[in-house]
Amino acid sequence: MLAYFDLLTDKVGTAYFLDAEKYSFLNNASIEYVKRTLPSSEGGVVNIEQDHPTFNNLHTLVYETAGLTPSAGVITKSAVQTALNTASSGTDPLMYIMNVSWTVAGATYPVRYTRHNDWYEFLQNSFKRGTTSSPRYKQEAARFVFYPVNNTAIVKFTLLKTPRTISSGIDSDLPEHTHKAIVELAVELAAVAIREEALANLNKLQQ
């Protein structure tokens, strides 16, 4: 990735970048690459599971946690992060929640995300509030809250984690076929940093 970065930037005689600077551009580009496949208000235009080829661009970042048991209807985010660390053998923070399920009495059900605006309204509505076979959850700053409260439920999270930080001797953990696109995006970021319009325009021709 560093060699390709050098190849693209050297073509127009741009300023020399230290390896630390290249790693910074590559890491920012990796996160931006992932964000562009997440449906959000930040510009994501493709759903990660739109089709198999799209998912295949990020599949190395997807992990399912071991089962967690809510206490009084709550699972802390720190507990989820610890479970992700164990599953991924790393410490990269979670980036996107893809799925939540819970198992009660041997049966597994999907847990539906619920907006805060709807949470208390649904609790008052017997047709919409969570049930054992159709539970709900909401997300707060430091915890996930589940309804109904069931201290025997086993909850699993399927998570997309943040890409591993690239540095000396540590490669990207995104699929290898995405590395070219990530480097080209990193060069775009570098071109903005040094206000090099020619580099940015040339790089677009590579894509």
**Burial track 162-177 (b if 16+ CB lie within 10 A, e otherwise):** bbbebeeeeebbbeee
- For residue 137, which of 153, 116, 165, 162 has the smallest C-alpha distance? 116
How do residues 67-98 score in pLDDT, each as one tens digit? Answer: 999 999 999 999 999 999 999 999 999 999 99
Furthest-apart CA atoms within the chain: distance in Å: 68
pLDDT at residue 89, rounded to an integer: 97
Specify the pairing of strand 154-161 against strand 94-104.
Answer: antiparallel
pLDDT at residue 92, rounded to an integer: 98
Parse the chain into domains and list their residue ranges. 2-56+174-206, 62-161
The residues of the chain scoring below 50 in pLDDT are: 205
How do residues 113-141 score in pLDDT, each as one tens digit? Answer: 999 999 999 999 999 999 999 999 999 99
In this structure, what token pair is assigned to residue 183? 């480097």
Average pLDDT of the residues of the chain: 90
